Chain A
Amino acid sequence: MFAWTLEKGLINKNKMNNNLYKYILGIADNCLILGQRLGELCGHGPSLETDIACTNIALDLLGQVRSYYQYAGHIEGQGKSEDDIAMLRPEREYVNTLLVEQPNTDFAYTMARQFLFDAYHYMFLERLQSSTDETLAAIANKSIKEVSYHLRFSSDWVKRLGDGTQESHVKMQDAINTLWCYTDELFHQTDADAEMIKNGIGVDTFALKDDYYNRVSEVLKEATLEVPASKYFQKGGKQGIHTEHLGYLLADMQYMQRAFPNMEW
């Protein structure tokens, strides 16, 4: 395969840095797992248009993940390829948030999950563009253009289903209520995150939180949905403690690499 090469000068500036490696995976794993979830809908979307849209978004996320993993591989310095990082880790080593691994229960869940993530992802990338790490800033600058389309699409569907028929309203409210408990984790900071924020590489997620809930609430209100009042939040993904759903997802995603190690096409 034609390798995607990042600017060498940018890489050498950052010597092997374990916290930076962890920080990159924290961003990238969200994109990989959500991309895989959306990819499951290929040929199974509720309509041709939404099927294509979900897989297009998946493709954007997987494209972004390639850049992150290639950079992570360089930072780690052990010669790992993007495929090694994507395919050859056990469940506990994935540090994606719990939100993105939740299943495609129905289309309302798929769109609610997408919206709750996109709103965060967009704000996060907005800030990451001014990271002192030039490679991360470049990836963010590229990705945010794509993510602005994702956010438009998912916001649109939250409104359409929320303010749609009685049945679509109930389903969207149910999805928002169920997924709400995973939103707080998006802002959680690990020790590696904290160090990256301190040295100007990372994004201070605490500073995004109020704005996130305000923006999300605005869309929910427009969609005639109630903003959940629950303050019970679940986390663990960023420490590698996942919901039961991730194991199944990985079993599916990693199957070919496990069955035929080092296969390529």
Chain B
Amino acid sequence: MIVAEQHIDEKLIGILAQVSDPEIPVLSILDMGVVRSAEIIEGEVFVSITPTYSGCPAMDVIGDDITSALRKEGYKSSVKLVLSPAWTTDWITEKGRRALEEYGIAAPLEAEADKEALLDGKKRVKCTNCGSKNTKLVSQFGSTACKALFKCEDCLEPFDYFKCLK
């Protein structure tokens, strides 16, 4: 597990927790682990966020949403993107993983199980609808860069799986 330091001013947690990933509205950007730092310096807020994937189009929206959430609370802010250390699915919090599952997206497995599910066709991913592990990979790439598409062979529902990224 990659441990990266995260500095978030306690006064800002409540505000940032209201901002969510536009693709996954149930998940706050804090639970997603994309906020790396948020500090108040002389009345201005400086926020650093890191992209999940380089081309993630949600980052532009997230940046704008952070600025407007802070503006509502009377803060002037500046948001920047940092690339290093690179984001990993390990940074999704336990609460975030539960929110993903409830929303219908299977949370990322550990690297080894992820590889077995995506490459060797092994049944490792649990259906978010019925909980069965009798699931099948439909496509390694899903509706967004971070997800793969699966299908449950018991309840026949298709669902997204959040790929492990380390």
Contact = CB atoms under 8 A, between A and B. Distances in A.
Interface of A: 1-2, 4-7, 48-49, 52-53, 56-57, 59-64, 66-67, 134-135, 137-139, 141-143, 145-146, 149, 152-153, 156
Main secondary structure of the interface of A (DSSP, over half): helix
Contacts of A52: 139, 141-143, 149
B80 interface: yes
A5 B80 CA distance: 5
Given A60-B54, A62-B55, A67-B54, A145 B83 contact: no
B42 interface: no
A140 B107 CA distance: 26
B55 A53 contact: no
Contact of B86 (A49, A63, A141, A149): A141
11 contacts: A2-B64, A52-B143, A56-B144, A63-B55, A64-B55, A66-B54, A138-B84, A141-B86, A143-B54, A146-B53, A153-B141
Interface of B: 51, 53-57, 59-60, 63-64, 79-87, 118-119, 138-145, 149, 163, 165-166
Nearest to A35: B55
Contacts of B118: 152
A62 B54 CA distance: 8
Nearest to B166: A145
A63 B64 CA distance: 18
B65 to A, nearest CB: 10
Contacts of A63: 51, 53-56
A141 B84 contact: yes
B108 to A, nearest CB: 12
Contacts of A59: 53, 55, 57, 145
Contacts of B143: 52
B83 A6 contact: yes
Contacts of A145: 86, 165-166
A52 B119 CA distance: 18
A53 B141 CA distance: 5
Which of B56, B138, B139 counts the most A-chain CB atoms under 10 A from its CB? B139
A117 to B, nearest CB: 16
